[in-house]
Amino acid sequence: MTYDIAIIGGGIVGAATFYKLQKKYPGQKIVLIEKEEELADHQTGHNSGVIHSGLYYKPGSLKARNCIQGRHELVAFAKEHGIDHDVCGKIVVATDESELANMEKIYKIGLENEIEGLKKLTGAELKEHEPYVEGIAGLLVPCTGIVDFRTATSKMVELALAIQSKSKLFLGHEVQDVIKNEETSTVVTDKANFEAKYLVFCAGLQADRLAKKDGVNLKEKVVGFRGDYYELTEQGAHKVKNLIYPVPNPDFPFLGVHFTRMTNGEIECGPNAVFTFKREGYGKTDFSLRDTWDALTYKGTWKLFFKNMRFGINEYRRAFSKKLFLKTLQRMIPSLTMDDLRPGRSGVRALLLRQDGDTRDDFRIEYHGNAIHVLNAPSPAATASLAIGGYITDEAEKHFGLKEN
């Protein structure tokens, strides 16, 4: 099976890249290869469904630029194609004076990133938006929203396939090798071989492994972090209207446990962030010898552990204790009780971890021979997906010399 372009990975970034490439180059035969039986089956389908504003990201970075542009594109896409979404806004809550300096810093970043409608709130004003919240100050971010990312992913692929009848989607095909030929590459899966002039890898949790199969000399490794969620029961759900976030701790590489109203109306609380012993393991005791060995023989993992020892221990304790999870949630909504919570789902985040243990890397998209590799696309990649797809399309034009036809 011969194609012009093969895209490996059927999460939302792969789907958006397929859609953007096919739209700009309708004559190109493109194949999208996904190892699971469904699209969006890992990070895309297990995240909290938030359309991020771009509030936290360094001005001028790929994350900031693509998140803001991608957010506008995603909302327009959802409106046009009837995908469940709601630009409902969120509040960021400071519960202690020690958080005010960091909240001010985030506010200034938000202004620099031109976040529409960003506004400081007093403790009393917080209650106008979320009556059950107790805080001393906060931020209103009206352009944050929620969306059904799984449906958005499927729609992008459906639209791409409708443009070019010779383009195809293959599910349940796990890539096992990449063989370089003179002018093409052969992508070897467990079920078939695909030949393509150009390759685009959007492999998420497997990005580093597939990059190495393609001959990329990559020093970093992907390390997975599981996030567990609770849901509010019927008796507790009225205590949250939309999205409620804490002021993130600048020393910890995650945003902290928050409340999210989903597009189906349910309220999720979480996630925590714990090292996972299986990259695609969603259960608390899931284990893969290969994934564990890969992570624990990498010095970057240990550097991260030692840097965040106290946070890490607290996150693990909270992963196995509903009482401790509740205590964290009660910092913002003190009236929550044990009966207001029931266990929810889990997700796993892929972080391309540097050798010094730093996780704060920007989106990382690199060109290698006849291939483009999305090496690092953590949150807000789902929000930014259409912008990332556009960026990859521009890179493909530059490096592959694609012509519109």
Q: For residue range 110-164, list pLDDT tens digits in order.
A: 999 999 999 999 999 999 999 999 999 999 999 999 999 999 999 999 999 999 9
Mean predicted lDDT score pLDDT of the chain: 95
Q: Which two tokens stand for residue 375?
A: 């090496």
Q: What is the pLDDT of residues 74-87, one digit of tens each?
A: 999 999 999 999 99
Residue type, 28: Q
CB 242 within 8 A of CB 85: no
Q: What pLDDT, on a 0 to 100 scale, did the predictor assign at position 20?
A: 98
CB 247 within 8 A of CB 133: no
Q: Which two tokens stand for residue 284?
A: 């608390």
Residues in the chain predicted with pLDDT less than 50, given as ranges, are: none
Q: What pLDDT, on a 0 to 100 scale, did the predictor assign at position 310?
A: 80
Q: What pLDDT, on a 0 to 100 scale, did the predictor assign at position 355?
A: 94
| 3-state SS assignment for residue 208 | helix
Q: What pLDDT, on a 0 to 100 scale, did the predictor assign at position 405?
A: 61
Q: What pLDDT, on a 0 to 100 scale, did the predictor assign at position 138?
A: 98
Q: What is the pLDDT of residues 302-351, one digit of tens each?
A: 999 998 888 888 888 888 899 999 999 999 999 999 999 999 999 999 99
Q: What pLDDT, on a 0 to 100 scale, did the predictor assign at position 314?
A: 85
Tell me which residue of 85, 87, 90 sits closest to 145, measured CA to CA: 87
Q: What pLDDT, on a 0 to 100 scale, did the predictor assign at position 253?
A: 64
Q: Report the distance separating Cα 330 and Cα 324, nearest Å.
A: 10
Q: What pLDDT, on a 0 to 100 scale, did the predictor assign at position 273?
A: 87
Q: What pLDDT, on a 0 to 100 scale, did the predictor assign at position 307?
A: 86
Percentage of the chain beyond pLDDT 70 is: 99
CB 45 within 8 A of CB 345: no
Q: Report the distance separating Cα 61 and Cα 335, nearest Å.
A: 39
Domains present along the chain, CATH in parentheses = 2-45+150-220+361-400 (3.50.50.60), 90-142 (no CATH), 221-353 (3.30.9)
pTM: 0.96
